[in-house]
Amino acid sequence: AQRVTQPEKLLSVFKGAPVELKCNYSYSGSPELFWYVQYSRQRLQLLLRHISRESIKGFTADLNKGETSFHLKKPFAQEEDSAMYYCALRSHSGNTPLVFGKGTRLSVIA
């Protein structure tokens, strides 16, 4: 069964501190992993996907197949990073739906 686990509902960090949002997944095949972000009163938007291997807004995420993890990291948190973050996966093949974790609310304190 496909499953995405985000163990933290809420994560609070001080501005300038490092951030790590955890994501573990369960999938029998070869998945695509994503991080979506939802800022206050805005729609859900893609932050990054593992196949592009890029850094967006200072965030990076590395797929660790051995640990089945896709943790989101940023070395220095900014207040504007405060938002809801969702980890998601889908099958590598075809146009299939995303399976989401329950999300982690990141609060960056000034």
Partner 1 sequence: DAGVIQSPRHEVTEMGQEVTLRCKPISGHNSLFWYRQTMMRGLELLIYFNNNVPIDDSGMPEDRFSAKMPNASFSTLKIQPSEPRDSAVYFCASSEVGNEQFFGPGTRLTVL
* Residue 31 near partner 1 by CB under 8 A: no
**Using an 8 Å Cβ cutoff, are 24 and 62 in contact?**
no
Which member of 27, 59, 77, 103 binds partner 1 (CB under 8 A)?
103
Among the candidate windows 11-19, 37-45, 57-65, 70-78, which touches partner 1 by CB under 8 A? 37-45
Q: Give 41's DSSP letter.
A: T
Of 3, 13, 1, the C-alpha closest to 105 is 13
**Using an 8 Å Cβ cutoff, are 61 and 70 in contact?**
yes
Question: Shortest approach of partner 1 to residue 78 CB, angstroms?
Answer: 23
Which member of 29, 40, 95, 110 binds partner 1 (CB under 8 A)?
95
Which phi-psi region, left, alpha or beta, contains residue 47 (left: φ > 0; alpha: ψ -120 to 50)?
A: alpha
Among the candidate windows 12-20, 23-31, 40-48, 72-80, which touches partner 1 by CB under 8 A? 40-48
> Judged by CB, which is closer to partner 1: 29, or 43?
43
Alpha helix stretches (DSSP H) within 1-110: none
Q: Give 96's DSSP letter.
A: P
* Residue 56 near partner 1 by CB under 8 A: no
Which residues here bind partner 1, judged by CB under 8 A?
36, 42-46, 49, 86, 94-95, 97-103
